[in-house]
A and B are shown apart, each in its own frame.
Chain A
Amino acid sequence: MKTFKYPLFGALLAIGLLFTQCSKDDDTPEPVNEEEVINRVTFDVTADGSTTTYTWEEGATSFSLPLKANKAYEVAVSFFNATDPAEVEAINPEVIEEADEHQVFYENSSSVVAIASVSSDNKDSAGNPLGLKTEWTTTAAGEAVVRLYLIHEPSTKSGASRADFGGETDVQIDINVAVTE
């Protein structure tokens, strides 16, 4: 019996040690700063030399952009990670840097506003406008919903509907465009 008791005792002791070693002290886990999140979108709307900024914040259920009829506006869209209010991170530089993998697209089938690309817009390596800057031309008064998309890894860079682009939707916001006289 002796021959078996001692090795067993040793094994038990070794395992006891392993148990205590592996159960680490309860370190406080670090908070995770989400680095990919987009939770603020701003629209800089410029007409006649003056710019108004409209901000969409995560959680908002409705978002409106008031415009005047028969007018041309330049609309610049910007994406931010505002998880940490003290350190709001602009996502646009990343989108511009990876222009080939991104596309901003406005889905618009309304009659009150026409959206066209502008020459000052950022372009990808093939010269396609990225959609960060666009020109919105209103016609008559009325209301319509225009949907903004930021598309990641689109299969093509041009199209008339969201389905044409493929890829994945990183941002999708419905904008209530209210055109008044």
Chain B
Amino acid sequence: MPILAVKQTCKSTLMSLLLSNFTREWVVFTGSLFFLFLSSAWGQENCSYSFQAQLIDLHEDSPLVDARIVLLGTDKITSSTEEGRFQIQGLCPGTYKIKFSHPLCDPQTKTIQIPQKKPFVFHLEHHVNTLAEIIVSEESFKKIRKSQVESGLNTNELIRQQGGNLATALSELSGVNKLQTGTGLAKPIIHGMYGSRVGIVMDGVRLQDQEWGADHAPTLDINAADNIKIIKGAGVLRYGGDTPGGIIVLQKNRKAFQDTLINRIGTTLESNGRGGGLFAKSQWSNGLGSYAQFNITAKRLGDLMTSEDVLSNTGLAEKAFALTWGRNKIQSGWEASYRFYDTQIGILRSAHVGNTGDLARAIASPKPIIIEPFTYSLGVPRQENQHHNGKLSYFKRFHEVSKWEFNYNVQWNHRQEFDVRRGELKKRPAIDLSLWTQDLEVFLETRLGQNYKLSGGLSGKIQDNFSDPETGVKRLIPDHNKYQWAAFSSLQYAPDNQWNIDAGFRFEGIHYAAQKYYDEKDWMNRGYAVDFPNISIVDYGTQLLAAIDLNFLTFSSSLGIGYNWTPTQQLLFNFNHSERAPNPSELFSDGLHHALATIEYGELRLQKEQVNKWILGVDSQQEKFQYAASVYYSDLRNYIIIEPNGFEQTVRGAFPVWQYQSVMGNLAGMDLDLVYSPRPWLQYKLTNSIIRGHDRTRDRPLIDIPPFSLRQQLTWMPLQKGGWEISLKHHYTAQQTRFPDNNFDYNRLVDGALVATRIDISTPPKRFHLWEVNWAFRIQNKARKFWDFRIIVDNLTNTSYRNYLNRLRFYADEMGRNIKLQVNYNF
């Protein structure tokens, strides 16, 4: 039965390759879902039973990774995965004894029955003060937040992405895309949302880095993380209620309670850009619970290439450094960490245009207008970012079942954007923003009996945003302070092994205190003088300084229900109500955008944005066949978008004005992930996602919604030992057929008269197929010392294509073939 299903799915996906028609895609999608459901009925014969369970650390509620599991009396041995899961196959009915051992614990033995009737979760507890004693309990099904829809990347998948950026790494997952500005700058899009609607949390701390900019990539080094998860449920409420897209959580692995020193040094060399990176990582821990981790990254690339041409000024220089030091004494513990990230990224030189005429010429030109010989040097335009992040945390357990945590975090983000300028100004940035953030959180977690877990906390945040006037350019966003407080709580209820329910809420108060210069004419024309009579104003002639105070109170909530109808199959339902205060760019932005030849204006009257989102998911983790599918619908109220709104006459001709405004709308979509392993040495993987966005206010599609995309991967592992692996990946992206028409007229000069010509900035680029091959092998010299080699060829066929979600798609093709060599030494 599963085989039939997969054949059908393959056929369906092939069909979708041939047809870019949307209706077909829906049919394909629902078709593949249907077969998945059919396949969930599985046949069983004698001695073909399997046993699955998950190992959870009772205190941390986190999976126990790399525990050793032995089925006594048989030759069956396995170890737990990153999710703490394990599976033993080929079992006959009967009673078995199963033994667990883990570096944190002494071995323990449990009795199990085959066939397995219900899902098992074993909770391992380090007994207070005596590390050697462990309690194994499976009374109740206390999974970690398994009422939520989650997806992620584990350590191995992250190592494969070594040298890449966060958005690119995550775009491997269904429902995740990236919004690019050229090639080096990318930010993740989750379920059609990006920027302020997606939170990024690293080591329990929300990243504060001017996330509102569509061309601002997250300022963090993914090489410092051991795994990445995307959470789209109640779990996000601890970090914010303003992220209807979801929260990306980057974590480090838990440290073992034993003397360990794990080191890895590696490099990734890339042919496209003729450079690469060096990466080093060191983890140390001892039996007393002390631990330290150290990471260093250095990366340098020159100009990238399309399939034919040099993409001038697309080089990159990146440095990152992270140090964590802490001690876990079980009953209490502390951690201090510091992370530094520095990046300089060139932005395609041809993408800097002076006016709409330049834009029209760039669109008409099939090649970038400026193509210089390859160079490593970074010219203008370029972005320079530094991010410092310091954290202190402390936890203390009490009454056996409760724990409180205390977290303090300070971040400094410095962003400079250099533009094409004249004379003395060349060396000065056109944008120079400093953002200080301090964040304090107190968090409490307690168990109420066996079935309930209650958690909650309070947090306060102060942010100081400074825009250096030395730039000689009108501030894009004004100097402002942002004060934020929040109270949040969630309750998890797990009555038995089948049901898991959680609900939570978050209250947040936000206060903006901004001082902004407005053009006197602007202030009047936009009606602010009438609508905001209480704003105090100082007149400076043509400009006036307005002291703006804005308050927002938001309430976000969430409900999640998880139901296991068989040991390996689960239904998930989630409802989230999220409220988001407008970000500084939406409220205050004021300036010329050189990549799109637009003038962008914020809007002071914006109200908080509200999103109601429903997700229904199903997931199945069977022996050969695993899948996760989900459908979602988001109702958008006061959804803030930027749209064209008239023209402004300037010395460079008429400029389209883009204005932030709020609309009613909806987003709906489906995600599908499936893995089929017919043999231990063969695996097929499919990731598929479809999304629709609609602006109900004006009855037209929303902008920048990812088109249908599909990824397939066939992996062949001819030798179980030696880590041999060859995989072929195929990535198909359809042409987006639903997009708003933002085209405008430009007057060309023909025979001494002006003739209006339409400039097409709306039509998305054509569909494309990309192929990638990946060859990996391992050379092991001693028990824990090994070399990992990997050769990756991206865009194998050197295809020329453009991507709808690249804001610089008018100017140049995407990157051509890239051959990467990765070498890692683990010791």
A interface residues with partner B (beta carbon < 8 Å): 4, 8, 11, 15, 18-19, 22-24, 26-39, 41, 58-61, 83-84, 94, 97-98, 101, 107-112, 143-147, 152-153, 155, 162-163, 166-174
Contact = CB atoms under 8 A, between A and B. Distances in A.
Contacts of B467: 29
Interface in B403-435: 406, 408, 410, 420-423, 425
B264 to A, nearest CB: 33
Contacts of A8: 394, 406
Interface of B: 332, 352-355, 357-358, 361, 369-370, 392, 394, 396, 406, 408, 410, 420-423, 425, 436, 438, 440, 462, 464, 467, 469, 471-475, 478-479, 481, 513, 515, 517, 538, 540-543, 545, 649-653, 747, 749-754
A31 B420 contact: no
Given A152-B422, A153-B420, A168 B358 contact: yes
Nearest to B475: A32
A166 B369 contact: yes
B425 A35 contact: yes
A171 B652 contact: yes
A163 B365 CA distance: 10
Contacts of A145: 749, 752-754
A35 B472 contact: yes
Contacts of A171: 651-652
Given A31-B543, A169-B357, A169-B653, 13 more contacts: A15-B440, A18-B438, A32-B471, A32-B517, A36-B421, A83-B542, A84-B541, A111-B752, A145-B749, A153-B420, A155-B370, A168-B354, A169-B354
B80 to A, nearest CB: 33
A31 B469 contact: yes
Contacts of A4: 332, 396
B354 A152 contact: yes
B422 A94 contact: yes
A22 B463 CA distance: 9
Given A61-B649, A144-B753, A168-B353, A22 B438 contact: yes
B353 A109 contact: no
A123 to B, nearest CB: 19
A171 B422 CA distance: 13
A27 B649 CA distance: 34
A30 B474 CA distance: 11
A29 B479 contact: yes
Contact of A166 (B355, B370, B754): B370
A37 to B, nearest CB: 8
Nearest to B751: A109
B474 A41 contact: no
Given A22-B436, A29-B515, A94 B355 contact: no
Contacts of B471: 32
A29 B478 contact: yes
A84 B392 CA distance: 49
A34 B241 CA distance: 39
B651 A38 contact: yes
B583 to A, nearest CB: 19
B440 A29 contact: no
A34 B336 CA distance: 44
Contacts of B479: 27, 29
A35 B481 CA distance: 27
Nearest to A143: B752
B752 A39 contact: no
Contacts of A35: 425, 472
A172 B422 contact: no
A11 B410 contact: no
Contacts of B649: 58-61
Contact of B352 (A32, A109, A168): A168
6 contacts: A29-B478, A36-B473, A37-B651, A61-B649, A168-B355, A171-B652
Contact of A36 (B355, B422, B653): B422
A31 B545 contact: yes
Contact of A97 (B361, B423, B474, B652): B423
A27 B478 CA distance: 13
Nearest to A61: B649
Contacts of A31: 469, 517, 540, 543, 545
A95 to B, nearest CB: 8
B481 A32 contact: no
B349 to A, nearest CB: 9
A11 B396 CA distance: 15
A142 to B, nearest CB: 8
A39 B651 contact: yes
A168 B420 contact: yes
Given A26-B481, A31-B543, A59-B649, A11 B469 contact: no
Contacts of B474: 32, 34
A48 to B, nearest CB: 25
B462 A107 contact: no
